[in-house]
Amino acid sequence: MKKVLIGLAILLILPIFSLSQILDPIKWNFKIEQSKPEEATLVMIATIDRTWHLYSQDIPKGGPIPTLFTFEKNGNFELLGKVKEPKAIEENDPFANMLLKFFTDKAEFRQKIKVLSRKNFMVKGVVNFMACDDRQCIPPSDNDFEFAVKGNPDALEPAAVQPASATTAATKSDSVKHALQLSAKADSGAKKIEQAALGKTDADKAADESLLWFFLISFLAGLAAIVTPCVFPMIPMTVTFFMHDTTSKRKARLEATVYGLSIIVIYTVIGTLVAVTLGANFANFISTHWIPNVLFFLIFMIFAASFLGMFEITLPSWIVNKADKQADKGGFSGAFFMAFTLVLVSFSCTGPIVGAILVKSAGGALVMPIVGMLGFSMAFALPFGLFAFFPSWLSGLPKSGGWLNAVKVVLGFLELALGLKFLSIADQTYHWHILDREVYLAFWIVIFFLMGLYLLGKLKFNHDSDLPYISVPRIILSIFVFSFVVYMIPGMWGAPLKALSGYLPPATYQDFDMNAIVQKEVAGIKSGGGSGAASTLCDKAKFADFLKLPHGLEGYFDYRQALNCAKKQNKPIFIDFTGHGCVNCREMEANVWSDPKVLGRLRENFIVTALYVDDKTELPENEWVISQYDKKVKKTIGKIFADLQITRFKVNSQPYYVLLDTSGNLLTSPRAYNLDIEAFVKFLDTGVGNFKKQQK
């Protein structure tokens, strides 16, 4: 049994280890539709990898880079209107603080043209686009396209084709020289870079850890389901049923094993069906649209009312009776149908838990629902297998009683609290402002305060037994609950409550934020009193008029300028490959950089350098570079530094953090998106330590 489960787990988890560092999540195909000679439609089709999304053409200023189609003009055709795109998914992004439009799975863009030439001709152009998933973004990329258009015999006269002027930048000797300067330092640290590229990035590791945590949470949810009134009484009854055949204990135990494995198979099949049939479009739909989120909120409220004793939810009796008749046949098929009967009978208690796991996993990759159901079902089937092999343990089980209903009521309170999350998502996406951060917190404070009172016996619900005294476990649990309530109270005035950041609305949804008021007052005092601290920079940073570092840090936005200053001050360089549209970069800055231990080290120990890979500012011609990766000319700030990241570090996702010495060599393995503050501090300290060793 153990080998089977381990093998199944490996098969399910194996796909996540195949992540590549040079990411290419968007595949473009181009075709032309020309049903009449005087008009044609150019069709640009983007096929989008699972969990990734492609941004719309319509993105607010200051947000991610929108998709942009550019057509080379000539006299052979005329554009009719703008490029039309399909209906996009809309989602309020708390870090970008704006409503963003994007596509998943597949997006088809269409541009109509009027044919002005009698002869056949080509329409050429380029699409510039940016793609992100839930952990990283790739810098804006270009994809060239061309369409073969048939001429229009009825055109008035052959149009004069005006060839696009070819750039001579690639032949400029100073451009070649600049390109070589940017990549010259790569040779001295090539071995270190290669080792870093071959290993897993922190984003990959974070994905692995996320999946592992989801498995563990689902496993704990399965254990919680065992101690519900629908399931717990069935343990001794079911195990006794399998052990009634005293003539063959081996056969009875084998049937019990089939029973336990059947439970795992049934739940895992449910997870697989969700993963295969619903896919990424459904995941984005339920995570952004108000209809499914309000529906899930109402479902959670109904289940909460049931758990609190208002009414009982059961499946139709004919479904349960049919499965029960099949179970009476005995043998291995009987064991399977008995497991199926258990799943049906326990629905009123396990339904909300299973539903929560599937809803949570629907926003993840293909493997998430499968792993979630595997974890839940393994824990759920565990007692039946153990007690079947060790029936003497049954005598040690606590008897059914009022404590089972208490478990159900506590789960009801949790359903009330967690259900608010779905209403909050719809509220943020559509700017209803029904459930602002302090209102949301007020609900949670009241819900968990009432749960604490219930644990102390001050509240009593339907089906509750008399409570002559308070047991030690209830006292301990109530202490944790009331402590949690006290922890949440400062959040009503703007405390960050980082432990709950994934469940609460963002701080921008806070009407009264004392923390923000204090920061403004401190900033006003600093700006009005005295000259302030002297700059730590060697010279004025290039691009500082439109590029900024967070938390008042001083630094550079150009690699060569930072390298020169590092040599003058004899300090290591901290490079942040980032982007204007990189939501995860902002999350790292808000949650990791803001920590005093991190912020102090960045300010004191490094030449901080932010290289924006999506900035479209075009540089003078003498600063253009020829890519060593794709041999194309890079003209903008973003393209130059995106190429630097790919060429030197074999990575094209952001955020990506690199520590270099004054010669541009790696000091330690780079890091990507990871909210572990202590690990980030260790990363910085390791770089400084290795730099000091070099100096000695």
Q: Where are the alpha helices (DSSP H) in 390-510?
A: 402-430, 437-455, 472-488
pTM (two decimals): 0.42
Relative to beta strand 77-84, strand 106-115 is antiparallel
Q: Which residues does 109 contact at the CB level (< 8 Å), separation at least 6?
A: 43, 44, 45, 46, 57, 67, 69, 83, 84, 85
**Cis omega before residue 140 (within 30°)?**
no
What's the Cα-to-Cα distance from 387 to each of 6, 46, 555, rounded to whole Å? 21, 54, 64
What does the pLDDT read at residue 174?
43
What does the pLDDT read at residue 168?
34
Report the CATH number of the 535-695 domain.
Answer: 3.40.30.10
Q: Which residues does 35 contact at the CB level (< 8 Å), separation at least 6?
A: none
Domain boundaries, the chain: 25-152, 208-400, 437-528, 535-695
Phi, psi of 602 (to 5 degrees): -65, -40
Relative to beta strand 573-578, strand 607-612 is parallel
For 257-270, give one letter per residue: b (16+ CB within 10 A) or e. bbbbbbbbbbbbeb
What does the pLDDT read at residue 195?
40
Parts of the chain with a pLDDT under 50 = 1-20, 158-203, 229, 246, 279-281, 283-284, 315, 319-320, 323, 326-330, 362-365, 519-520, 522-533
What does the pLDDT read at residue 147?
92
Q: Which tokens in the block code for residue 689? A: 């330590």
Report the CATH number of the 25-152 domain.
Answer: 2.60.40.1250
> What digits encode the pLDDT tens for the residues 185-204?
433 443 443 343 334 444 45
What is the rounded CA–CA span in Å between residue 408 and residue 406?
5
Neighbours of 395 (CB within 10 A): 7
> What digits encode the pLDDT tens for the residues 602-644?
999 999 999 988 777 889 988 898 888 778 888 888 889 988 9
What does the pLDDT read at residue 401?
57
Relative to beta strand 89-93, strand 98-103 is antiparallel
Relative to beta strand 26-36, strand 39-48 is antiparallel
